[in-house]
Amino acid sequence: MKQIIIWLINFYQTFLSFDKGMLAIFAPGGACKNSPTCSEYTKLMIKKHGSVKGIIMGGRRIISCR
């Protein structure tokens, strides 16, 4: 399960992200105010804490972004 979620995040980062993906041309300089980006942070937390807790931690970070 962990590998599937990480694969989905990698897909998002490669093709859909305004920071790293192909849509970056629409947001020069990046769209994310956080470092690392929320998707990268979620990926790191999933690797460190597992799927459920990592997704919760990543979700909290995404929700806190304004």
Domain ranges for the chain: 2-22+32-64
Q: What pLDDT was estimated at residue 37? A: 87
- Residues 5-22: pLDDT tens digits? 999 999 998 888 887 777
Q: What pLDDT was estimated at residue 60? A: 94
* CA separation for the pair 1, 22 (Å, rounded): 26
* CA separation for the pair 64, 66 (Å, rounded): 6
Q: What pLDDT was estimated at residue 45? A: 96
- Residues 15-66: pLDDT tens digits? 888 877 777 767 776 677 778 888 999 999 999 999 999 999 999 998 987 6
* CA separation for the pair 55, 24 (Å, rounded): 24
Q: What pLDDT was estimated at residue 65? A: 78
